[in-house]
Structure 1
Amino acid sequence: MTRHDLAPRSTVLGGDPSAEPAAAPTSLLRRLNRRGFRLVMIADVLALSAISIGSMYVRFGFDWPDAPIRSYLLSFALAVTVFIASLYFGGLYEREPRLGAPPALPRAGQQTLAAGGLVALLSLGLSGVFRELGLGPTRALPFPIINLSILIVLGAVAVAVNRRLVHLVRTRREGPPRVLLVGEASELAVARQHLDDERVPARVVGKHSANAGLLEEVNRTEATDVMLLSPRWIEAIYADVLGELDRVGITVVLRITGRETLYGLERLREIGGMPFVLLRAQTMPRSRARFKRLFDIVLLVTVAPFWLPLVGLVALYQFAVAGRPLLFWQERVGIGGRSFQMVKFRTMVPDAEADGHGARLAEADDPRIIPACRWIRATRFDELPQLWNVIRGEMSLVGPRPERPELTTGFEHRIAGYDRRHEVPPGLTGLAQIHGRYHTDPEYKLGYDLQYLVNWSPLLDLQILLRTVWVVLARRI
């Protein structure tokens, strides 16, 4: 079976994204499935606000002190904003699949605890500001610890309850998840036995095997979820079909057998006694990608007093030893496979690729490098102008290194899954750069890049940046 066996021949999936479905039931089910949790943010704001105000009654009863009232009201607004931001960047407003959905309370508790810690730090930092502005008494914190503790505990419960209510409302309006099973006859029979139990909150609406069009079958059955019963089906649907299903809000999961669990897979879910993992067309959800962008901007602004003078000093040296042009602009492939102009200090002779060899990877002892500029490349100071690309949003501080379009095309034909590097903005440095060298094979580098995509966190970015500083100081190339 090939990807083309699953290609759509008509109807909603695989067609014009702007086209409206012909059948009303399709439109209603798909719209409800796509929109997910849009109203839950409003419910969270109302619940957290009510808990914040209620905590004041718990502390003071109905005799609120007059002096700090403005301080408390401003603190409530700030705390609720921080909590909502934490929930958002923690992925609690992403579309959550209903099939085997995990309990919301652990995730909600984790995010509200993180938000509570941030509010506590802000409360300490803003206490002096509030006193200067006359918004509170001399010794009062803008958000008292007692009130904050109540908000963390009850807030986690409220957030989890809101998601449970949304889940119940969606189930009442749409019915249980409509599952399309994909597998061979023996696999389909076993899975059907597990899911046909009336206690299982799912309904099997069809079975798919071998060479019929998967997208057409999803359209025909109005499935909201697709369950692959064997890993061998992944290659058939990745990445075109999986991306099309993800675009219209269809969840795709992979059933895991005992052998696959030995690989150390995490975040397993279960339905009808069958463990499975969620498959995504993109590894990094939108909320995490936006938080990564925010993290880049905050870090750039914070360390600007260090990198701005460094850029100036390197520019003066570069101009003195190499003359003009000072900068070198080159087309690279960025997020989504889109090209952009990456900038760096010129460390090679002019027209370095005019020798007839065309585009090729640089080497440690590349003769095209200007001798007086070798230390700039060794310390990677030639990459400093790419901070401008980061500011423009074309790059990130950490991520897969961008390649030339000519090289990217060759790698994509030679290395399966190479295009997955383009799911996030390219970076100044990355996991592959702190572990690899110039001669490291691109396929090995891809392994580091994909590991980074799956395990991304702000802490991982900080670790990579600090390791990069060590690599620069040690002049490891």
Structure 2
Amino acid sequence: MASDGNRSMILLNGMKMLGDIVLINLSIIASFWLRFAGSIPKTNFASYVEIVPYSSLVALVLLNFYGLYDNTRKPWSEIIASLTASILVLTPLTVTLSFMFRSFAFPRSVFFLSAFVQFALLYIWRRLVFRLERKLFSPMKAMVVAPALEALELAEKAGASGYEVVALASDISIDNCHLNAMTGTYSKVKYLQDTCRPSVIFMSGEAPEGIKQSLARDAFESGIELYISPSLYEIMLANSRLDQVDDTPILEIRVGSEPGKEQIKRLMDICFATVGLVMTAPIMLLTAIAIKLDSPGPVFYRQERISQGGKRFMVWKFRTMADGAERNTGPVLSHDNDPRVTRVGRILRAMRIDELPQLWNVLKGDMSIVGPRPERPFFVEQFEKEIPEYSTRHTVKAGITGLAQVAGKYSTSPEDKLKYDLLYAKSASPLTDLRIILQTLKVILMRDKAS
């Protein structure tokens, strides 16, 4: 039976959906009015009415896909990015629907005008909802169970995500310092859980096996939400196929796409790369001019990278650093406020435009649209010394964007990025690729996301 809090959240989401649909369609009506100077022809409006049920459904699916009906507390900047991405995808999809229904009396200019009106109306509406949510709903209480350093990191991230961290259990005693939470060692897990009564538990895959089993059992019985930050080994077990030896159940560990799916993925890569090169040609031409005007040196930058199976290839990028930036230092990872990055380079990196030439790498077959970002041999050797499992990311082809880019941030550690890369390798499919491509649009609009 749903709790009062859950019922309230369901009602709020219902209110969000109703408001979104009303405002999206109202924006199109307003765009009609603006397009025809206050006098909307019946034929044109009838064509619009014909596709309303379908365009409304597509709008709801997109808004849900971009997380605008999630129950988690998101920062306002992420809500705006999700809203913008939804409208950018919805507009061409609505145009496509009008063609499918042969609604030729519907001027396409109305759609593009409505995109601006939609953003304005939905911005105001979502701002009101954002404030209402923070007045009506208190943050969910959370407990963190992890080794000391990871516990502090998880607690900080949980707090930034809108949770109220009320308890921390770790391998050693943690100084409470800035955290307004009860703390204790693993032996105090049950006491902390009973005393603080969290509704969410964040647990590390590195926690003792007995505690993981106990908390998992409690979660099943009590309905507490349990989230595990998996170890690399646990990720390798994800999506394993169940088999048996005689009457003993066993798990078959698989990594990478199945042969048939790889062919579909390659076909998708060719289509996306071809269309992408054609559509972005004007942008790339302007970028080349801007680079030449901004600093001396070549427009493009070629660099050796590693892809599937350890294969080396030359990746193409727009130059974003001063020419010869590593001539005296050797290979150095880029970082925030890197002085080697040019003025134009900062803009290109922020908008991910510097990656566009890699569409040529995709067309050649060196890379895929979606996959782990290709790294330089020098850094691969370093990471493999620090993280023995690092080479497992090379079981799939390198990509322009990937799960680590849409789920992580610029500051995400190499080990956590590797976890995302392994999760992708375990679940790679054409549908997964399409989801990541659509999520990449949202990432481009968020400055703190991974590059």
Q: Same fold (TM over 0.5)?
A: no
> How would you bin the TM-score normalised by the shorter chain?
0.3 to 0.5
- TM-score w.r.t. structure 1 length? 0.42
Max Rg structure: 1
- TM-score w.r.t. structure 2 length? 0.45
